[in-house]
Chains A and B, each alone.
Chain A
Amino acid sequence: MSGVTIRDLGKAFPKEDGTFTQALEGVNLEIGDTEFICLVGPSGCGKTTLLRIIAGLETATTGIVTVDGRAVTGPDPKRGMVFQEYSLFPWRRVIDNVAFGLEMKGAAKEERRRAADRYIEMVGLSQFRDAYPYELSGGMRQRVAIARALANDPDVLLMDEPFGALDAQTRNRMQKELLSLWEQTKKTIVFVTHSVDEAVYLADRIVVLSPRPGSVQEIIEIPWPHPRDRTSAEFAEVRRRVLRMIDETENAQ
């Protein structure tokens, strides 16, 4: 069981002049085990901040985040993170990037390489296991980053616009692969995106945040099975609804 509970969460960033920017305020959210959640919202609404608080990379000003009933106090390999920027360590080969978390846990070389190999195979990059990151394309790098996060066997996989820098075709393929990984590993996934299309394609539930200070404005359930047809009428309908929501809040500001 790996649910995430967010209660009364607020985050204020101090500014130069001594005042504060309220990025998030009164965020409440329950994320179920093995659920795929997409966070969307107008730019600057704090969706990345929310994800980073769940990861433990930022601390909340008010409120609390618990995973499996335990409060989040700092970064932990139990909450895997995939960043928007390329975050692979360029000095490590693919295999040693993926094995990094296990190395930190103190696993023996043989053991961690065996585990890493399994995850590299899962993302379909076995023939690149000894390559350096600069030899890989953008999509491949993000696949390795996903494998690296999964190799720690996290309870929750946090993804911060991981496909944002990829071209449209690669992006679609990556979405498909991510769904298949999700089905194989049964991880809880929290996925930040500014692409509504991506959210409707991937998520069990789309969480729409309001503009700054961000809070949960609406949650849209998408009960359809995968794979989903992007061209269907109902897909377009949900996409339109979410877009209108983001648009309205943005204009109301």
Chain B
Amino acid sequence: MNRQTQKRLLGIAALVVAAAIWQIVAEYVVGRSFILPSVTDVASAFVTLLESGTLVADIAVSLQHFGIGLLAALLLGVPVGILMGWFRVADFLLDPIIEILRPIPPLAWIPFAIIWFGLTTQAAGFVIFVGAFFPILTATYAAFRSVPKVFVEAGKVLGCDTSLELIRYVALPAAVPAIASGIRIAMGVGWMCLVAAEMFGVSRSGLGYQLWHNYYLHQMPNVVVYMLILGFAGLIIDRIFRNYVDGRLLRWHAGEVA
């Protein structure tokens, strides 16, 4: 048995044991599904939610919120980060504004998200945008500030005449690994903001909303289902992104950091 299969088998075994303990504690020690739903309660809740179609619909809605927010954060965060990282004047100009806005917790924007956008997809997207924007901005800025000088000079002597060419052909490719890890952090923050935004009533559907809604209905097995789905979805999004970045975008980077 090699290391890899050993690791996998032990991981599965631990999960099975944890589930068994959970089941025993829930059923025989606690004994009330409201306080601690058992594994089987949760499993049957899952099946019911899946069959009714609401689960899939809510996942779709949440992914939509997440997608809008993250896309907006990318479309704004990367260019602003590039501007501030490359042009000193832009840095001096924008830095005070950024420094004042950045410490405001994304959830503090929820009232205005609702006032500006109503209870729309955009409102939830906006809160996620606020959460994801700053990690992307900061990562892009830092990455651009630390592009090795020799790459920029090599670009210049090889015929990059304008800042635009230097950014496009030299600085941006050099910055991609750091920007990618910034995006990963941003996705984590964004996912947390998603749940909070939906819970606090920015939306009338979605995983976060349903979690809170089912709490009001005292449907605790359903609450656990939504908790687990949120965890898995976050995990899967992160895995997909990491595989994509590691495998495709950064083939050259493998040896650079090692």
> Is B156 a contact partner of A85 (Cβ separation < 8 A)?
no
| CA distance in complex: A57, B156 (Å) | 8
> Is B159 a contact partner of A152 (Cβ separation < 8 A)?
yes
Residue of A nearest to B254 (CB): A134
Residue of B nearest to A135 (CB): B255
> Is A132 a contact partner of B150 (Cβ separation < 8 A)?
no
> Is A104 a contact partner of B165 (Cβ separation < 8 A)?
yes
Does any Cβ of B come within 8 Å of A75's Cβ?
yes
6 pairs from A and B in contact (CB 8 Å cutoff): A81-B157, A87-B153, A89-B154, A91-B252, A91-B253, A134-B252
Q: Which of A89, A135, A148 contacts B151 (CB 8 A)?
A: A89
| CA distance in complex: A77, B256 (Å) | 27
Interface string of A157-184 (1 = CB under 8 A from B): 0000000000000000000000000000
Note all chain A residues with C-beta closer than 8 A to B159.
Answer: 76-77, 100-101, 104-105, 152
> Is B150 a contact partner of A57 (Cβ separation < 8 A)?
no
> Is B173 a contact partner of A91 (Cβ separation < 8 A)?
yes
Please, how many residues of chain A have a CB less than 8 angstroms from a CB on the other chain? 30
> Is A104 a contact partner of B160 (Cβ separation < 8 A)?
yes
Does any Cβ of B come within 8 Å of A79's Cβ?
yes
> Is B153 a contact partner of A57 (Cβ separation < 8 A)?
yes
> Is A85 a contact partner of B150 (Cβ separation < 8 A)?
yes
* A100-B158, A101-B158, A105-B159 given; A87·B252 CB < 8 A: no
Note all chain B residues with C-beta closer than 8 A to A79.
Answer: 157
> Is B157 a contact partner of A132 (Cβ separation < 8 A)?
no
> Is B169 a contact partner of A134 (Cβ separation < 8 A)?
no
Interface of B (DSSP majority class): helix
In this complex, the interface size class of chain B, counting residues with CB under 8 Å from chain A, is 20 to 34
> Is A55 a contact partner of B157 (Cβ separation < 8 A)?
yes
Q: Which of A80, A89, A152 contacts B170 (CB 8 A)?
A: A89
> Is A87 a contact partner of B256 (Cβ separation < 8 A)?
no
Distance of A100 from chain B, by nearest CB (Å) = 5
> Is B151 a contact partner of A87 (Cβ separation < 8 A)?
yes
Note all chain B residues with C-beta closer than 8 A to A103.
Answer: 169
Distance of B78 from chain A, by nearest CB (Å) = 17
Does any Cβ of B come within 8 Å of A128's Cβ?
no
Note all chain B residues with C-beta closer than 8 A to A76.
Answer: 157, 159
Note all chain B residues with C-beta closer than 8 A to A104.
Answer: 158-160, 165, 169
Note all chain A residues with C-beta closer than 8 A to B165.
Answer: 104
Beyond A89-B170, A100-B158, 10 additional contacts (C-beta under 8 Å) are: A74-B156, A75-B153, A80-B157, A83-B154, A89-B174, A91-B176, A101-B158, A104-B159, A104-B160, A148-B158
| CA distance in complex: A134, B174 (Å) | 14
| CA distance in complex: A148, B255 (Å) | 21
Does any Cβ of A come within 8 Å of B3's Cβ?
no
> Is A90 a contact partner of B160 (Cβ separation < 8 A)?
no
Note all chain B residues with C-beta closer than 8 A to A105.
Answer: 159
Most chain B CB within a 10 A radius of its CB, from A75, A79, A149: A75
Interface string of A102-117 (1 = CB under 8 A from B): 0111000000000000
Distance of A152 from chain B, by nearest CB (Å) = 7
